[in-house]
Amino acid sequence: RDEPLCDGAAVLRGFALANEPPLLQAIDTIAAQAPFRHLITPGGFRMSVGMTNAGPLGWVSDRRGYRYDPIDPDSGQPWPPMPDVFLELAGAAAAQAGFSGFVPDACLINRYEPGTRLTLHQDRNERDFEQPIVSVSLGIPAVFLFGGMQRTDRAMRVPLAHGDVVVWGGPARLRYHGVLPLKPNLHQAFGECRINLTFRRAG
């Protein structure tokens, strides 16, 4: 069931399926305290992906740059706590892919609606690139772009469906990646959206 994508990256198909109800419930609780919002990039563009966070650190972007912040800038309060079901899922997925002892301190929650995309980028705001990143796809399917170490390297297209978990570590950790514009679709529990949980050890 596990598909190695390349050295350091593995797709665990359906790994999160058994946890669908508690994950959905936890996302609703987090979004009630820290609603999804469209952040502004340092270049002044509004991101089409809606974002919120859970855990000690949250990823934020504004005209000053990208960073992790313990405080939600919209509320002035700490981000909602990381639910146990998140910690357990991320730790179990990382361990299955060969990264035991993964304890994330940040969960970025990305909400994609039809037409929403994420342009090619690298994740490099974290302190320790030896730590893997665990990504959980929920809701309507998406096509993930998995590129190389340079933006212009040819990207693989990886379809990701509800319940799929990807672990990015080792040499895959700093590869360029993105998400193609989401096609209109409907998921019975998540509606017209794709939710991605991105677990990181940021601090």
Q: Which residues bind Fe ion (CB under 5 A)?
A: 123
15 binds, among ligand MD5, Fe ion, none (CB under 5 to 8 A by kind): none
Residue 165: beta bridge partners?
12, 136
Q: Which residues within the stretch 75-114 sit at the binding site for ligand MD5 (CB under 6 A)?
A: 108, 110
Least Å distance, CB 14 to ligand MD5, is 16
Query: In the bound complex, which residue of the shown chain has the CB atom lying closest to Fe ion?
Result: 123
Which amino acid, residue 96?
Q
Q: Determine, following the binding rule CB under 6 A, whether residue 179 of this chain makes contact with ligand MD5.
A: yes
Give the Cα separation of 96 and 74 in Å (integer): 36
In terms of CB distance, is 19 or 135 closer to ligand MD5?
Answer: 135
Q: Which helix (H) or strand (E) holds 9?
A: strand 9-12
In terms of CB distance, is 94 or 172 closer to ligand MD5?
Answer: 172
Q: Determine, following the binding rule CB under 6 A, whether residue 27 of this chain makes contact with ligand MD5.
A: no
190 binds, among ligand MD5, Fe ion, none (CB under 5 to 8 A by kind): none
Cβ neighbours of residue 162 closer than 8 Å, sequence gap 6 or more: 17, 20, 137, 138, 139, 140, 141, 187, 190
Q: Taking contact as CB under 6 A, which single stretch among the options 13-21, 27-35, 165-173, 185-193 is the one that binds ligand MD5?
A: 165-173
Q: Determine, following the binding rule CB under 6 A, whether residue 162 of this chain makes contact with ligand MD5.
A: no
Contact criterion met (CB below 8 Å) for 197 and 109: yes
DSSP code of residue 89: H
Give the phi and the psi of residue 135 in degrees, each rounded to 5. Answer: -125, 125
